Amino acid sequence: MAKIKPSKGAPYARILGVGGYRPIRVVPNEVILETIDSSDEWIRSRSGIETRHWAGPDETVAAMSIEAAGKAIADAGIAAEQIGAVVVSTVSHFSQTPAVATEIADKLGTDKAAAFDISAGCAGFGYGLTLAKGMVVEGSAEYVLVIGVERLSDLTDLEDRATAFLFGDGAGAVVVGPSEEPAIGPTVWGSEGDKAGTIKQTVPWDRFAVGDVSQLPLDSAGNVKFPAITQEGQAVFRWAVFEMAKVAQQALEAAGISSDDLDVFIPHQANVRIIDSMVKTLKLPEHVTVARDIRTTGNTSAASIPLAMERLLATGEAKSGDTALVIGFGAGLVYAATVVTLP
């Protein structure tokens, strides 16, 4: 029986560079209040959101990804031709096939890099990071580009008081490459499919395509609504606060550190109250910098963690070499947490 030659990869993997792109248009809460009965004070107190970015016609999922990826590649100090794989996490690329990752890989100028999309909601960046680490260590790619990107404004029901104010658009990217020492810890991830209905699309695409009005939601003018994201806010809040704090703690333990060893905490930017509750439950020391990018960016799902990471490094609130706990959680319900060294 023939023996298969073992793969030869790097001993470890690390994040080498990060980049982000936020659409030009900034949307304050006042715009949201044009279609829902609420107030700026209520939105801020419930979510912490003051503004969000919405993409224009030319700011497509691919275009935003290319902008963010270009910055990440430059930050990593490598050439696009060295990228061996492109992993894109998104739920808002509306073409079922081909994967938008293939277009991105081509336009960036990679040398026929492997390219594919994943759908893991707000945990998508963590899923992509885990796959990238595996590829680098296994040896199937020396450098992997991981992108989280969303145009959630396309999937927002502006008449839904529970979600109209939540979502924003943008793209965040990182380059993962070889390392001589551990810099991406073990991932604690999973799913709770019995709770999948708490965050979901209002109607599937096939039902929308049929056009049977009796089976579709209507807006206040009686027009058929485009499919949108909806959620059971209180159920999601309780799950995120209580269960995800446990997952975050497991990620710390898997990495062999405690909260005292952390420099930075970068949770999915879902809601400031969730973030603050997790900080309290984890008993994070005051010296730990906590990302609250949601205030001006909104909830960008798969893009939220790399965008928050990029901003912390750009503003100097975090620095290269810092130890950070990252955790994403959302539709599915899925989650992924790990400890990383910042680029």
pLDDT of residue 108: 98
Phi, psi for 87 (deg, rounded to 5): -115, 120
Element (H, E) at 279: helix 272-282
pLDDT of residue 74: 98
Bridge partners of residue 330, in order along the sequence: 334
Phi, psi for 106 (deg, rounded to 5): -70, -50
pLDDT of residue 207: 77
In the block, tokens 């936020």 appear at 22
pTM for the complete prediction? Answer: 0.95
- pLDDT tens sequence across 217-261: 767 776 777 888 999 989 999 999 999 999 999 999 999 999 999
Residues of the chain with pLDDT under 70: 210-215, 218, 222
β-pairing, 334-341 vs 323-330, is antiparallel
Strand spans (E) along the chain: 12-21, 25-28, 51-54, 83-89, 114-118, 143-151, 169-179, 188-191, 199-201, 229-231, 264-267, 289-290, 323-330, 334-341
Cα–Cα distance measured from residue 269 to residue 1, given in angstroms and rounded to the nearest whole number:
52
pLDDT of residue 205: 81
- The answer to whether 264 and 288 have CB atoms below 8 angstroms apart is yes
pLDDT of residue 213: 63
Q: Could you list the active site residues?
A: 122, 268, 299
Contacts of 311 by beta carbon, 8 Å cutoff, 6+ apart: 20, 291, 293, 297, 317
pLDDT of residue 225: 79
pLDDT of residue 279: 96
